[in-house]
Chain A
Amino acid sequence: MSAESLLVRKIDWGTVLDHIPAWRADQVVRLLNLESLKRDADVSVIVLYNVPSRKLGRKDIVKLYHYMVSEEEAKILALVFPQITINYIRDWKVEKHSPGLPTEIVGKIRCPETTCITNVEREPATPRYIVMREHGVIACEYCDTLLEIERIPDFLRE
């Protein structure tokens, strides 16, 4: 029996995000905008910090009871946390999901350039990025500003 299963019981339906780097589960919660589910009585979110891991030494886990991460969200998670494991659970059965990487990210990340049109108050310009994975950056499609992929969690929109 693994360490995390001792802490939290298995779920019958939902998503388990495993192998998140230790102490970065909050970024996953923000990236998925899980707070928006606070009125959904069926959904529970279980966050485990700093769990022992053979692969990473220490890791975080996010269990989403009655919530399936979308393909778009899975792709962004895979981009920001290359070692993450995404498991969909249906009737106790575990399906390991390997999402591709996104080519574009729309709406989730604010532009680090303060003078970008997407940061102008009341202007209905939705931030949009082209992913340039080979250079380790994403590029704002409006203002061309580059953002390092590992810094994406620091620029998540509220």
Chain B
Amino acid sequence: MRSPAGGGREGDTPLALKNTIRGRDIISCRDLSRGDAELIFSLTEEVVSGAARLENTLAERKIALIFVEPSTRTFQSFYVAARSLGAEVLSIHDPEVSSIAKGETLYDTMKMIEGYGADCIVLRHPARGAARFAAEVASVPVINAGSGSQEHPTQALLDVFTIKSKLGSVDGIRVGMLGDLRFSRTIPSLCYLLSNYSNVKTYFMAPPLLQVRREIELYLSERGVEYRKVVEVDEIREVMPELDVLYVTRIQKERFPDPTEYEKVKGSYVVDARLLSYGRRELGVMHPLPRVDELSPEVDKLPNAWYFEQARNGLPLRKALLYLILGEAG
């Protein structure tokens, strides 16, 4: 990686670490080692501090943003990141006005976009496995920006980056994950990425219907990561003092086969000042956003609220990631 014209940080080497990300697909957090994540975090930190100025380092590159599902933060942050790196952006943001609405397959869309000279494809798609399939079809790097309920690796990267910047270290942390853990795509990615760090313990706080999928439990067990399922509301209060981070996800009413079941649990999983009073003073509250009722606005003004900073980190992190994938070799 060389110091780019019109950008770069002071000194000779923009990044002392070997670039293990260059030219790679980012499909699952299971494919990312601790070293890969730390490399991305190092450059993100430099982007945040201003030590690395990557503006126009990807001039003459084309980045395709293919979003077949709604998105606000992920699309916008990838778009702004790509533009500030100087790349040309090809985008499908509203599938209703593209050939996808006419029934075009993902396979054909990938072939078409690649034919237009895209150097990298950022894909959000409602099907699980879509990103892995797209990466097989395309010869250029594919970044998974959300594959149905399966994974959202760049969200997990910015989540763990946020944890690291707030706490200084990720090793040994206790993370409570609360809400819809079954259909949330951020939870698997976060679990997989956290499993790279030592002595991390996770608490899955959700009703049985919304508990984590079996493949996540299996993966964590195989990697020796301790986890505990917390189902009852009283139990949630009990474990609150143990947590360093409480990661909240939206409970989606439409997932419940029986609406009365939803009514029963929805109020129990609301994070408000009262619930936080059971936790440590330094407890950080995170949320991938958007939120509905599960995270009370009264938390916004508490020092525990990390979620807006977390959302802000999406831009520098995606900028660093695109640069590492497409920039000069290190």
Contact = CB atoms under 8 A, between A and B. Distances in A.
Contacts of B266: none
A140 B129 contact: yes
Nearest to A142: B129
Contacts of B133: 117, 123, 125, 142
B215 A146 contact: yes
Interface string B45-82: 00000000000000000000000000000000000000
B127 A141 contact: no
Interface in A120-141: 120, 122-125, 132, 135, 137, 139-141
Interface stretch (B17-25, B101-109, B313-321): B101-109
Contacts of B330: none
Given A115-B148, A122-B105, A139 B129 contact: no
B214 A146 contact: yes
B86 interface: no
Contacts of B147: 143
B107 A116 contact: no
B310 interface: no
A118 interface: yes
Interface string A61-89: 00000000000000000000000000000
B132 interface: yes
A145 interface: yes
A141 B31 CA distance: 13
Interface in B107-149: 107, 125-130, 132-133, 147-149
Interface residues of A, number: 23
A132 B219 CA distance: 12
Contact of B128 (A123, A143, A146): A143
Given A144-B150, A146-B215, A123 B106 contact: yes
A113 B150 CA distance: 11
B115 to A, nearest CB: 17
B326 to A, nearest CB: 25
B218 interface: yes
Interface string B1-45: 000000000000000000000000000100000000000000000
Contacts of B106: 117, 120, 123
Contacts of B214: 146
Contacts of B128: 113, 115-117, 142-145
A51 to B, nearest CB: 37
B13 to A, nearest CB: 38
B215 A144 contact: yes
Nearest to A139: B215
A143 B28 CA distance: 10
18 contacts: A111-B129, A116-B127, A117-B127, A117-B133, A119-B127, A120-B106, A120-B127, A122-B105, A123-B105, A132-B218, A135-B218, A139-B215, A142-B133, A143-B147, A143-B148, A144-B128, A144-B188, A145-B215
The 6 residue pairs across chains A and B that have the minimum distance between CB atoms: A142-B129, A143-B128, A143-B129, A117-B129, A117-B127, A125-B133
Given A116-B127, A116-B128, A146-B218, 7 more contacts: A140-B129, A141-B132, A143-B132, A143-B147, A144-B28, A145-B128, A146-B214
